[in-house]
Amino acid sequence: MASHRDLPVGLVNQLFQNNGSSSFTEFMSSYAPELLPRRDEVLATPIGDQVPHATTIVAATFAGGVIMAGDRRATSGNVISQRDVQKVFRTDDYSCMGIAGTASTGIEFARLFRVELEHYEKLEGRTMSVAGKANRLATMIRGNLGMAMQGLVVVPLFAAYDPDKDEGRIFSYDVAGGPYERERFDAIGSGSIFARGSLKKLYRDGASADDMAMTLIQALYDAADDDSATGGPDVTRKIWPVVGVIDADGFRRLSDEQVAGYVDQMLEARMISPDGPIAPLR
């Protein structure tokens, strides 16, 4: 496909041509298609097991916002390929996404999605609605279905603060797209079943951001406890989960010191009760 970047720069260039769409991806697909994630490749053999995989992401809402946390492990088959990979990404001032599945494709998606959201915001002069953002991400994931069938699966978890409702919202996806809006909390990745079980018992409606951060750290620990592909907090190397908080003030990533504080508290309690907090029976 001929790329229009070869044209001389001028208003004849597509850069200055209004194609009626505010989508960065749509513009790129005609301007420089080679830069977008490839969707039409046919791999001789599925390579799913040979590339690093990102594992567990958890997210939960709290009073006036949403919080997302991810462990730091990437695995290739049974080998730990990276101990400090980052899987939770800020996508704009009021949203973030976490990735599970093929790490490289997921990182590429997060990068493209961020540009996509900001591109719209700058062109239109308004922030895209939360539903709009979730739908846009669904289209991107749907476009990856061909690659997913060959082993390059990416499944994101999307969280955003909705200024109209003054609350956090969580959307999950499957390989064919989505979005599925989730009430209260959700988890994705290999350790998600264990994390979800933990969250089910620990989640409190109307909790503060501080309490909910602790809840997510507990859930990640429970996931790491039972899932070999999920990394627990690495106390010796001081590698802590990535925790992102979104509320009316926007997205902020908790500092390593803050997360280390939660982890220390949790480990101390687990020295006495190794399975973590015990939910009341009645």
Partner 1 sequence: MSMPFGYASPEQIMRDKADYARKGIARGRSVVVLQYVDGILFVAPNPSRALHKISEIYDRIGFAAVGRYNEFEELRLGGIRYADINGYTYDRSDVTGRGLANLYASNLGRIFTESIKSLEVEVVVAEVGETKDGDAIYRLTFDGSVFDEHGFAAMGGQAEAVAGRLKERYRESMSLADALEVALAALTEPGGERPPVAQLEVAVLDRNREHRKFLRLTGARLERLLAQTTQPPASPPPASESPSESSESSEPPSKGSAGSSGSSGDTPPPTGPEGPVDDGSSPL
118 interacts with partner 1 by CB under 8 A? yes
- Rg of the chain, C-alpha, whole Å: 20
> Count of CB atoms within 10 A of residue 87's CB?
29
238 contacts 156 by C-beta, under 8 angstroms: no
Decide: helix, strand or coil at residue 64. coil
Binding mask 74-113 for partner 1 (x = CB under 8 A): ----------------x--x-----------------xx-
What's the full length of the chain, in residues? 282
Angle at 243 between CA 75 and CA 169, to 5 degrees: 105
Binding mask 121-150 for partner 1 (x = CB under 8 A): -xx-x-------------------------
280 interacts with partner 1 by CB under 8 A? no
b/e 141-171 (16+ beta carbons within 10 angstroms → b): bbbbeebbeebbbbbbbbbbbbeeeeebbbb
Eight-class DSSP state of 239: B
Eight-class DSSP state of 233: -
Q: What Å distances lie between residue 97 and 16, 130, 134, 137, 226, CA to CA?
A: 31, 13, 10, 10, 24
199 contacts 215 by C-beta, under 8 angstroms: yes
- Return the number of the residue (93 or 174) whose C-beta is nearest partner 1: 93
> Count of CB atoms within 10 A of residue 134's CB?
23
- Per CB under 8 A, the list member of 6, 18, 164, 275 interacting with partner 1 is 18
In the set 55, 91, 105, 230, the catalytic residue is 55
- Per CB under 8 A, the list member of 119, 133, 169, 182 interacting with partner 1 is 119
26 interacts with partner 1 by CB under 8 A? no
CB of 9 to partner 1, least distance (A): 6
CB of 22 to partner 1, least distance (A): 9
256 interacts with partner 1 by CB under 8 A? no
245 interacts with partner 1 by CB under 8 A? no
- Which of these ranges, 7-15, 43-51, 198-206, 230-238, lies near partner 1 under the rule CB under 8 A? 7-15
Could you confirm whether 127 is annotated as catalytic? no
Nearest to 191 by CA among 69, 277, 18, 93: 69
- Per CB under 8 A, the list member of 1, 2, 16, 268 interacting with partner 1 is 16
115 interacts with partner 1 by CB under 8 A? yes
What's the sign of the alpha-carbon dihedral 178, 196, 49, 158? positive
31 interacts with partner 1 by CB under 8 A? yes
Task: Kindly list the catalytic residues.
Answer: 55
- Write out the residues near partner 1 by the rule CB under 8 A: 9-11, 13, 15-16, 18, 24, 27-28, 31-32, 35, 90, 93, 111-112, 115, 118-119, 122-123, 125
